Each structure stands twice: as C-alpha cells, then as structure tokens.
Amino acid sequence: MIEEKRFYVSLQMKIAGLIAALLILVIGTLTVIFAFQQLNEGQKQAEQLAVQTAKTISYMPPVKEAFQLADKHAFQNLDVIEQMKEQAGAHAVYITDQKGNVTFHSARSSIPDGNQKLQNKTVMFGGSPVSDGMKAVRGSAPVILEEQDHNEVVGTVTVEFLQDEIEKGIKEHLWNLSYFACLVLLIGIGGAAALAKSIRKDTLGLEPHEIASLYRERNAMLLAIKEGIIAVNKDGAVTMMNLSAADMLKLPMPLVGRHIEDIMPDAKLMPVLAGGEAAPNQEVRGGDKVLILNIKKMSQAGQDYGAVISFREKTELKKLIGKLTEMKKYSEDLRAQTHEFSNKLYAILGLLELGEYDEAIELIKEEYAIQNEQHEILFQNIHSQRVQAILLGKMGKASEKKVQLSIDENSFLESLPKHVGSSQMITIIGNVIDNAFEAVAEKKVRKVSFFITDIGRDIVIEVSDSGDGVPPDKIQTIFQKGYSSKGTKRGYGLANLKEAVNELQGWIEISNQKSGGAVFTVFIPKERHKGESM
C-alpha cells in the first residue's frame, strides 16, 4: 500500500500569505470607500464651484453692459470669462438671455449659430448634475440689471464641469495612493517574513505539522514508559508529568504548575537547577516509597532552561536484579550438573574403551544408586516442579564441588502457594544452600543436608552443614548487605535471602549443632496476613 503524500504549506508562506491577503483586503476596501467618498465630495465641490463662478461672472460689469447693449456681438469680446473658466477648470461657460437663447458660450465643443437654446441644459439657479449624452455638473446664476424702480433678470450664466474630468482628477489621486499602498503591502510582507523567521527560531525550525507529530509521539511514549517522568522549568515548576509518575507518587493529575519541592522534597533539585551536578541513581523517598532517581538538565546553546527527572521504585528494581541474579545462579547450577554428568560419561566411556567392563558397570550402578535414592525422594515427596528444578541444579553443583548434598527422606511438599514466586524460592533455597556449600568448602567432610515440609501453617526449609557454625555474636550481622567473612565484593546472598523472606512475611532461625556446623531454618507462612501487600 502506497502511503499518500500530504502537501504541507510552510509556516512562513502561511503567515506571509495571510498578512498579504489581509493587507490587500483592507487596502482594497479603504480604496473603494475613499474613491466613493472622493467622487461624491468632488461632485459637491464641482457644484459649489460652478455656482460661485456663475455668480461671479453674473456680477461682472462687462456682462451687464453686454445685456444693456442688447447686441450679441458685444458678448464675443468677453475674454475675462475665458480666463475665469480656465482658472476654475470648468469645461464651458454659457450666457443665455431671458428666452434661453445662448448669447455667449466658451465651450470646447461649439454650439450652432443662431438663437439656439441651451436644450435640456437650463436649470434652476444653483447647482446640480445633468446628462445630455455626457454627464456633467452645472451651476447657474441670474444676471440682474438694476433699474431705478426695480431689478430685472435679463439672462443667466451657466458654468459646466464634465463628470469625466472630475473622475479623472480622482483617479490621478488614487494612483498616487496606490504607490503608498504597494509600499505598505511590501512592508507588511517583509514583516510577515521576519515574524515567521522568529517563530521558526522559537520552534527550532520545525513546521506546525512536525510539532503536532512530535507532540503525539511524545504523548504516546510517555504513556508507554513505565518509569516516572517529570519535567520542570528553571524555576522548579512542573511543566509535564506522565501517568506512571502520578501513580508512583499517588498524586492526582494534572500537577502542572506545582513546585517540585512540594511533590518530591527529597529530590533536592533546586541546587542542580542553580548549576550543581546531579548524582546518578539517587535514593529518595516519594510518599511511602523509596525511588531510584536520575536528573538530566535541559539546555540549549549553553543555556539551562529546566530539567527532566526519571525514577523507578527501588523495590521493583531490586526484584528485577534479584531475578536476574538468581536466574544466573540457577543456570550456573544446571551447567554444573551438565558438566558433572559429562565427566562421568567420559569416565564410563574411557573404561569401556580400555575393556574394563566390570568397572564401568560398577560405576554405573554406583551412580544410579546415588541418583535413584535422591531422585526418589525428590520426585515422590516434593511435588512442586519449581523446587524440584532448583534442587536438581544444586545437586549438580554439589557434585561438581565434591559436596555431599542429601535430601532428608522425611521431606514433603505440595504445590507452592500462589503468593510465593519462583524468583523468591530461587533466592531463598539457592542462597541458603550456597551458604552451606561455602561453609564446608575447606573441610575434609563436606556434607550438606536439605529438608523441606509444608505440614502445618508454614513452609519450613532447613539446611544444615558440617562446617564450623556461626559465632553467636555474628548471628545478627551476617544478614547485613556487604558483610562477609570470605572477602570483599561479597555478602549479598544472605542479605537477599533475608529480604525475600521478609517479603513473604516469614522469619529465619539460626542455630549451631553440637557436632559443629550451622543450621538455617526458614519459615514461610502459607497464607498472607490480611491487609499486607506483596
């Protein structure tokens, strides 16, 4: 199945496009509004200017004199009207008599000679837009001759502005504004690019979809990790915590914003955030649990901006380490058993090749008798396969070390209770027998006896040896971690034995035989007390 490729637009393009679109929309809207307002304002100004110009011309003495002479040729020499028209920027000036006949015009398009009336162009005195094939704005004013007893309106002055010329002026103004708008648009796009670059720097060059993908992956990893994870900023405030951390600390989610010292006061994180170094694998208390804690400072470009704390329960780690250690011992015991049987097989093979058949047969019978006696007790009296496997390994190891390991014929064991795990039995039986092996290692008589029974309310495991026994003043110290009379880097077997027995709510008794040698007796309740946890 071919994965569909998605097309992603970069953050810089998104921001630049959005800002450019907004600027274009705003500038375009403002331009339309401005053009509409300018058009209305220009038309009103043209009307006012047309009326004012018409009034000014109507008051001019040369115009009144021309009307008094009643000679149309007198209007042809009114050059001052042409000047006023040019100054006002008007398209044309018309002077009409009382009947509406045009007696004078200063238009770019000619009006036919004769008493042609200003068709469809005569308006009431004032200003208004008109249309006779082309849009225009006109303003009119009366020409009044003052007589002794009355005033007489003898004509009209009309000043005309073309709509196209008004719009042309507005367009020129808009073109000038467009250059400024383009400049603003370019500045906006440049600012958008700078903003996008700054955001990309803050996001370490990642695009939004990449950040979203990392966020989803981070959440999935935090949920999958069984270790407790807490992230804090440089001030010690919690910024992130996974569910495993909340479960181990028995705290409700979310805890974002709370100070780390309120959650884990024994972590002593603040000196680390202040520039100190964090010791690896620290043991700290978190609620009612002992945690193994590690701190990793978060930094970028030489600047610290927080730390990540990871931790696991010490008991869980100890169980895991104990399981690995005991499984290693168990595999070594099985290897010793295999090695011992290989030696015996080679011995039998050598006797057969030399023709010493009787001796070979005798060796086989002897070995069979020893194995049969022990195996008969092991398999008939002990019904737990886990204990059988442990003892078989120890029997092979005893044979390799030349130690006589015997299983008491009175031993009896049904299946182990559910709360007793394989790793715990390996730790208990394996360490107590190994301790006995070490006690007789330097002795001429190397005997170790093993007894187990579950008759009664407890499982009883007893191991005796032919060694020197345990001095009374050392009985309480031999279970301390690291204590050993055999040298350095030892003393962990009996300590692990003690912890495993305590986990099962059992106890250990130590005594010495009159003939020499120690007796270790382990009691494991077959039922756990109510209210106790594993």
Neighbours of 293 (CB within 10 A): 25
- Domains, the chain, with CATH or none: 12-170 (3.30.450.20), 216-313 (3.30.450.20), 356-525 (3.30.565.10)
Of residues 11 and 188, which shows the higher confidence score?
Answer: 188
% of the chain surpassing 70 pLDDT: 78
Per-residue pLDDT at 520: 93
pLDDT tens sequence across 456-508: 889 999 999 998 888 888 877 788 765 555 544 445 678 888 888 888 889 99
pLDDT tens sequence across 62-103: 788 777 776 666 666 667 778 888 888 888 888 887 777 777
Give the separation between CA 435 and CA 474, rounded to whole angstroms: 15
Rg of the chain in Å (alpha carbons): 56
pLDDT tens sequence across 284-293: 776 666 777 7
Dihedral angle sign, alpha carbons of residues 107, 111, 113, 116: negative
Q: Name the pTM for this structure.
A: 0.42
- Calculate ∠ Cα 390-394-399, nearest 5°: 155
Evaluate whether 7 touches 142 at the Cβ level (below 8 Å).
Answer: no
Per-residue pLDDT at 464: 92
State the amino acid at position 143 in one-letter form. Answer: V
In 3D space, the residue among 433, 420, 354, 349 whose CA is nearest the CA of residue 392 turns out to be 433
pLDDT tens sequence across 380-396: 888 888 888 888 878 87
Looking at the predicted structure, is the pLDDT value of residue 435 above 60? yes
pLDDT tens sequence across 308-356: 888 877 666 566 665 666 566 666 656 666 666 677 777 777 878 787 7
Per-residue pLDDT at 134: 56
pLDDT tens sequence across 17-36: 788 888 888 888 888 888 78
Q: Which of 15-24, 128-137, 183-192, 237-246 has the lowest mean pLDDT?
A: 128-137
Q: Spell out the residues 6+ positions from residue 158 whose beta carbon is closer than 8 angstroms to its own.
A: 54, 93, 94, 95, 96, 118, 121, 122, 123, 138, 139, 140
